[in-house]
Amino acid sequence: MSNYLNNDNDEEDCTIYIEELKSDDPNLKINAVTKIIQIAKILGQNRVREELIPYLIEIIEELDNEEDFLTSLCEQIVQLNDFIGGKAYSHLLIAPLELLASMEENIIRQKAVNSLIQISNNQESQFFSTHFFSMIKQLAGWDNYPSRISACSLIGATYFQFQEAQREDLMNSFEKLCKDDTPMVRRTASQNIEEKQQTQLFFKEKLLPMWLNLLKDNVDSVKVKSIEISPKLITRLSKSDVAEKFVKNIKEILTAKGKSWRIRYAIAEIICDLILNVENDCIQKEILPIYEILLKDSEHEVRSITLIKVPELCQHLPSSILTTNLLPVLNGLVQDTSQHVRSSLGEIICKIANFFEQNSVISGIIPIVESLLKDETLDVRLSLINNIQLINQYIGNENVKKYILPAFQSIQNDKQWRFRLVFVEFIPNFLQQIGFEEFKEQFLEFVKIFAFDHYSAIREQVFANFLVISKTLGYPAIKNIFFDLVNQLIKSNNYIYRVTATKSIGHLIDVIPKNDLNEIFEILQNNLFDDKVPNVKINLLKLYNSIQEKLNPSVRNKFIQKTKILLKDNDADLSYFASLI
């Protein structure tokens, strides 16, 4: 092809790129394929049509090309649509893309299909009837299964662009593809059924029988794909049809022998969509038993995903049925061998409490909560405590005090610091639940214990909670507790708690009145300025820098004078921070 080019610079570059498209060096080929548009601009429309496109076909057919090269080529061929002389010549791009759509490598094949679909956008009917139709028919009839896979996708994407007679022909081809000997073809056909569901009548008459057959396929991957697409398809059916034609099939699949766990998992994933598309009577009689089967599945992945879907089920069933049928199954999962299942149970158990009668919550759900709070796995306990506010809101203050609070008594000694931290973060929620006086009675000791926790994040959170509470009840409500706690920290023999005392003020700077701020800083200064641990004094200096504008001149002057001594301290860090005062 390069023999036809002239010799100016651009054309010399063009010649090089054209030759490099056939290079043995993969890097040169990849670079050259990105220059196809540049080549097309130099060649002009006629030569692109007459020379470049045939040349690309030759490369695809004759050379052993790399995957990256062919993938990039798919993208570049689409862009040639602007350099061949308009829509009248778009069909010329079909031939190279048809070859690429027949490749075994999935990524190349999918790129080619996407490129063909892109080229077909906004085309006239003649383009489809004269060119696109024959290409799809040829792909659908080829012996190599990758071609037939591409045909499934192309029929799905462009079916309604064809005239009625050709649609009928394509539908016949698609029906054959749904029964293809190769599972991958049937799986792709199943996936593309959803692309053609234009009207309810069309779906019910043409596509539904194919889909139901694919649901009964003897290959699991085909069944799974047919189940996965069902949420989009069942919206085309009446609720009675969903119950009769789909739920019935799903139940048969679920109870059949030899079914794989992936099929059961796929059913669990779409079960909420079934609920939304059937009557409540079907939910109770047909779908609830499906839940029960899945919750008792031998694979923990299936049990876990089904648990996540339980709240949707609860919205559509009376509390009496939930108590009788569902609650015993959930109770059986408390001791499940999989921590993932127990974690999922912890995530949903509080969310569903409001669907039960209060006495059922107290007798059935709270025991589950108590057991999960004692679970040996941290993530299980965390998943529960992150949602426990939902059950607190439902059962009322008295029941919270009677049943929930006692379950938290052992948390202060929990060996997992992350769980203790989450609990401390949650403490202000209990305040809203039980009132301040009851809060002090039940949680003040917790607060004091956690203020002396070994982990700094927990100690910091205690004082962050004071800010939350003060914004709700006002600073005066927490003043005495705060002052008392700071004094206890100051007197600790462990320096990390004395450091915590200095840091505690930072959380409340915006709410502490000026007089109280001066008072507590004086207390810190008098007790910690001569501390033997440099880090304590460094944090006192940092605190001063952050609040000095709010301190009285007398307090500031006193501290500045004392700080001069530290300028000559042997500890370099301490003398440095003193120099900043």
- Average pLDDT for 231-243: 91
Sequence-distant (6+) residues with CB within 8 A of 431 are 439, 443, 469, 472, 473
Global pTM reads 0.79
Q: pLDDT (tens digit, 9 = 90+) per residue, 326-358? A: 999 999 999 999 999 999 999 999 999 999 999
Helix crossing, 475-490 with 436-451: angle to 10°? 20
User: Above 80 in pLDDT, residue 194?
Assistant: no
Q: Are 455 and 420 in contact (CB under 8 A)?
A: yes
Q: CA-CA distance, 366 to 404, in Å (whole number)?
A: 8
Confidence of residue 203 (pLDDT cuts 50, 70, 90): confident
pLDDT for 196: 62
Q: CA-CA distance, 184 to 224, in Å (whole number)?
A: 12
- Average pLDDT for 247-255: 92
pLDDT for 397: 78
pLDDT for 404: 82
pLDDT for 291: 97
Nearest to 70 by CA among 21, 116, 119: 21
How does DSSP assign 366-421, residue by residue?
Answer: HHHHHHHHT-SSHHHHHHHHTTHHHHHHHH-HHHIIIIIGGGGGGGGG-S-HHHHH
Confidence of residue 303 (pLDDT cuts 50, 70, 90): very high
Sequence-distant (6+) residues with CB within 8 A of 483 are 520
User: Above 50 in pLDDT, residue 67?
Assistant: yes
Q: pLDDT (tens digit, 9 = 90+) per residue, 150-181? A: 999 999 999 999 999 999 999 999 999 999 99
Question: To the nearest whole percent, how much of the chain has pLDDT over 90?
Answer: 76
Q: Are 200 and 236 in contact (CB under 8 A)?
A: yes
- Average pLDDT for 247-276: 92
pLDDT for 199: 64
pLDDT for 211: 92
Structural domains of the chain, with CATH: 217-317 (1.25.10.10), 319-395 (no CATH)
Which residue's structure tokens are 């070859």?
99
More confident residue, 406 or 185: 185
pLDDT for 6: 46
Sequence-distant (6+) residues with CB within 8 A of 65 are 29, 59, 73
User: Above 90 in pLDDT, residue 220?
Assistant: yes
Q: pLDDT (tens digit, 9 = 90+) per residue, 527-544? A: 999 999 999 999 999 999
User: Above 70 in pLDDT, residue 3?
Assistant: no
What token pair was written down for 262? 């992936």
| Residue 315 DSSP label | T
Confidence of residue 99 (pLDDT cuts 50, 70, 90): very high
Q: pLDDT (tens digit, 9 = 90+) per residue, 417-471? A: 888 898 898 888 888 777 888 888 878 888 889 999 999 999 999 999 999 999 8
CA 328 from centre of chain: 30
pLDDT for 7: 47
Question: To the nearest whole percent, how much of the chain has pLDDT over 70?
Answer: 97
What token pair was written down for 9? 């610079």
Q: pLDDT (tens digit, 9 = 90+) per residue, 266-291? A: 999 999 999 999 999 999 999 999 99
Nearest to 94 by CA among 38, 150, 144: 150
pLDDT for 198: 60
pLDDT for 574: 93
Q: Is the dihedral of CA 311, 315, 320, 326 positive or negative?
A: negative
Nearest to 567 by CA among 557, 576, 554: 576
Q: CA-CA distance, 340 to 380, in Å (whole number)?
A: 8
- Average pLDDT for 49-73: 93
User: Above 90 in pLDDT, residue 8?
Assistant: no
One-letter amino acid for residue 534 of the chain: P
pLDDT for 4: 44
User: Above 90 in pLDDT, residue 399?
Assistant: no
Q: Are 217 and 178 in contact (CB under 8 A)?
A: no
- Average pLDDT for 355-362: 94
pLDDT for 416: 86
